[in-house]
Amino acid sequence: MQFVDVGYGAVLLVSQQTGELITTFTNGLPLANMFLNDTVQGVSGKFLPVAPAVTSKNRIYVLTEFAPDENQNDVNVLGLQRLYAIDTSTSLANGMKIVWHANFENELPYSNVLSASLRFGSESYARRLTSTLRDPSVLKPSILWDAAVETIYLALPPPMLPGSRLQGGDRLFAIQDTGKEGSMVFQAQISVQNMVMYDGSADRNPSNAADQLWVSAPDGRLLAMKKTGVIGHVLDMPAILKTNFTITSKITTARGRGVDEDFLLFGINVQQPTAAFKSILSSYGVEVMSETPANYVIGVDTPENIKGMPLAWILPTPEDTVVFGQIIGIKGDGSSIPDQLIVYSQIKQKFAKIFSIIAQK
């Protein structure tokens, strides 16, 4: 179950298993509910959420995938993904209203052999979809809202349902919400693991700072994309760190200096550190005489900031725990309380830690 603040003292509850959307006041009083049911090519089913919903004022955006109802065996309808734009209000008669939706379909057909292998028994497509979303090895869809230009960015790997993931490839879409409909800005064939964009809507956003979308590829490269879909910069982090690694957390972007661009923060895991990587660690003050740690938090300056090495700093995590989730920045008081980063890390099924990082003076 996902909880999203929709304003006016209400929250949205999203059930991945049933697809039900519920708005309720924070005091527990229910307001409205909706199921995203539909019939596709004569097959009944429901559209189930596959990524956390995002909001803009009273409008919510829900990315979904079609799951046929029980005993519906036409696999040709698998692989349909849909973005819903839904308005919410305090009206009891019209508390939720679908304003528009956009479909994303793969174009490669199924073979007869594949179709026959996908005729499931009693286990529903909905359960299989939920199970796939819980698999940490599967690249998940993601959604990001850019308030400055009222645009939704969608990172769509192949659909989640078994078999349908053999269709098509990874794609990135930008769709502008014009109010009554969605308008395609660009689409690109690219595999996206993370997306982040600095939110300067309520900030002292530097006038000379580029407003760009940063995406990370599965191989660790960081790409800065303009709002037209053109790639402006590429940071080849495996080449910079001189080793292969996996980004384990979400990417956070910060802007702490009035003339600068994005500063990127994230966690990485290095399974097989190279000698060159160990040399880099030593140059940043990390002890490598004994066993080399596998997990780190790193800070990366983007090309507008730098004239040399993009890696600003790298720190091993406490007890070599794996960094997860969002790294959060907390501003200090300018005197006794310093600015700091709050990081969540864990060793699965053993323990978790929350630790802070502060700048040394």
Direct distance between the N- and C-terminal alpha carbons of the chain, in angstroms, rounded to an integer: 43
**DSSP output for 259-302:** T---EEEEEEE-SS--HHHHHHHHHTT---SSSPPSEEEEEEE-
- Residue among 355, 334, 338 at smallest CA distance from 346: 355
What pairing do the DSSP bridges indicate for beta strands 295-301 and 263-269? antiparallel
Residue 167 or 296, more confident = 296
pLDDT at 320 over 80: yes
Q: How far apart are CA 354 and CA 344, in angstroms?
A: 5
Residue 264 or 71, more confident = 264
Sheet holding 322-330, edge to edge: 322-330, 340-347, 351-358
Q: What is the pLDDT of residue 249?
A: 94
The ranges assigned to domains in the chain are 1-192, 238-361
The H or E element spanning position 239 is helix 237-241
The single residue listed with the structure tokens 């286990």 is 123
Angle in degrees, CA 311, 315, 319, rounded to 5: 155
The predicted-structure confidence for 120-157, as pLDDT tens digits, reads as follows 443 467 777 777 777 777 788 999 999 888 999 999 98
Please, are residues 166 and 195 in contact by the beta-carbon 8 Å criterion? Answer: no
Please, are residues 187 and 173 in contact by the beta-carbon 8 Å criterion? Answer: yes
Q: How far apart are CA 219 and CA 256, in angstroms?
A: 28
What pairing do the DSSP bridges indicate for beta strands 10-14 and 81-88? unpaired
Average pLDDT over residues 332-337: 78
The predicted-structure confidence for 19-61, as pLDDT tens digits, reads as follows 889 888 888 888 888 999 998 888 888 898 999 899 988 899 9
Please, are residues 84 and 194 in contact by the beta-carbon 8 Å criterion? Answer: no
Using CA atoms, how far residue 143 sits from 61, 73, 80, 156, in Å, is 9, 30, 16, 9
Q: What is the pLDDT of residue 166?
A: 44
Q: Which one-letter DSSP state was computed for residue 318? A: G
Residue 57 or 299, more confident = 299
Confidence tier at 299 by pLDDT (50, 70, 90): very high
SS (H, E, C) 193-204: CEEECCCCCCCC
What predicted TM-score, i.e. pTM, was given to this entire model? 0.83
Q: Is 120 helix (H, G, I), strand (E, B) or coil?
A: coil
**DSSP output for 11-24:** EEEE-TTT-EEEEE
pLDDT at 100 over 90: yes
- The whole-chain average pLDDT of the chain stands at 82
Using CA atoms, how far residue 253 sits from 47, 222, 233, 269, 357, in Å, is 32, 12, 16, 19, 15
Helices (H) and strands (E) in the chain, counts: 4, 26
Q: What is the pLDDT of residue 296?
A: 97
Beta bridge partner(s), residue 346: 322, 352
Cα 69 to the chain's mean position, in Å? 28
